Amino acid sequence: MNILNNTLQLTDIRTMLLEHGYITDEYVSMSVFLSLQLNKPLLIEGPAGVGKTAIAKVMARAMQTDLIRLQCYEGLDATHALYEWNYQRQLLHLKMVEHNQQSVDEKEQTIFSDAFLMKRPLLQAITHHRKPVLLIDEVDRSDEEFESFLLEVLSDWQITIPETGTIHATHIPQVILTSNRTRELSEALRRRCLYLYIDYPEFEKEWMIVKSKVPEIDAKLGELVCRFMQTLRSLKLEKSPGIAETLDWAMALVALHIDHLDKSIIEQTLGVVLKDWRDTRQVQMSLSELMEKTGVHSRIDDL
Beta 174-179 vs 133-137: how paired, if at all?
parallel
19 belongs to a structural domain: yes
Residue 233 Rama label (left phi>0; alpha psi -120 to 50; beta): alpha
Same domain, 39 and 134: yes
Which residue type occupies 95? K
The pTM of the full predicted model, rounded to 2 decimals, is 0.81
226 and 128 inside one domain: no
50, 243 contact by CB (below 8 A): yes
Claim to verify: residue 183 and residue 218 sit in the same structural domain: no
Question: CA dist 11 to 3, 44, 173, 290, Å?
Answer: 11, 21, 23, 40
Judgement on whether residues 168 and 228 belong to the same structural domain of the protein: no
| In a domain? residue 92 | no
Asked whether residue 3 is domain-assigned, the answer is: no
Both 144 and 45 in one domain: the answer is: yes
Q: Are 46 and 52 spatial neighbours (Cβ–Cβ below 8 Å)?
A: yes
Q: What is the mean pLDDT of each run of 10 residues along the chain (303 residues)?
A: 61 82 87 90 93 90 90 89 78 75 70 76 91 95 90 83 81 94 91 94 94 93 94 91 94 93 92 94 91 69 41
Domain boundary among the residues 197, 218, 237 is at: 197
Q: How far, in Å, CA of 262 to CA of 240, rounded? A: 21
Residue 300's pLDDT is 41
Residue 262 belongs to a domain: yes
Domain limit, last residue, from 197, 213, 243: 197
The pLDDT, as a whole number, for residue 303 is 38
Is-contact 7 27, C-beta < 8 A? Answer: no
**Of the residues 197, 226, 251, which one is the last residue of a structural domain?**
197
> Considering the domain boundaries, does residue 111 fall inside one?
no
Would 66 be classed as within a structural domain?
yes
Single out the residue of 234, 224, 225, 196 nearest to residue 50, CA to CA: 196
Q: What is the pLDDT of residue 6?
A: 55
45 lies in the same domain as 154: yes
Alpha-carbon distance of 129 to 124, in angstroms, equals 9
At 62, phi and psi to the nearest 5? -70, -35
Q: Strand, helix or coil at 155?
A: helix
Return the pLDDT at 274. 95
Residue 4 placed within a domain: no
259 shares a domain with 187: no
Q: How many domains does the chain have?
A: 2
Say yes or no: 69 and 134 in one domain.
yes
| 44 contact partners, CB below 8 Å, separation of at least 6 | 31, 52, 55, 176, 177, 178, 179, 196, 197, 198
For residue 231, the enclosing domain spans: 203-302
Helix pair 277-285, 287-294: axis angle to 10 deg: 70
Domain co-membership, 258 together with 180? no
Question: What CATH number does residue 71 fall under?
Answer: 3.40.50.300
Please tell me whether residues 147 and 262 are part of one structural domain: no
Torsional sign, CA 215, 248, 30, 136: negative
SS3 content of the chain, % helix, strand, coil (to 5): 50, 15, 35
Domain match, 133 and 181 both: yes
What pLDDT, on the 0 to 100 scale, is given for residue 19?
Answer: 81
* pLDDT value of position 5: 52
Domain assignment of residue 185, yes or no: yes
HEC sequence for 156-189: HCEEEECCCEEEECCCCCEEEEEECCCCCCCHHH
pLDDT score for 83? 79
Q: Are residues 281 and 190 in the same domain?
A: no
Pairwise CA distance, residues 256 & 156, whole Å: 52
Q: What is the per-residue pLDDT for 11?
A: 82
**Per DSSP, what are the bridge partners of residue 85?**
117
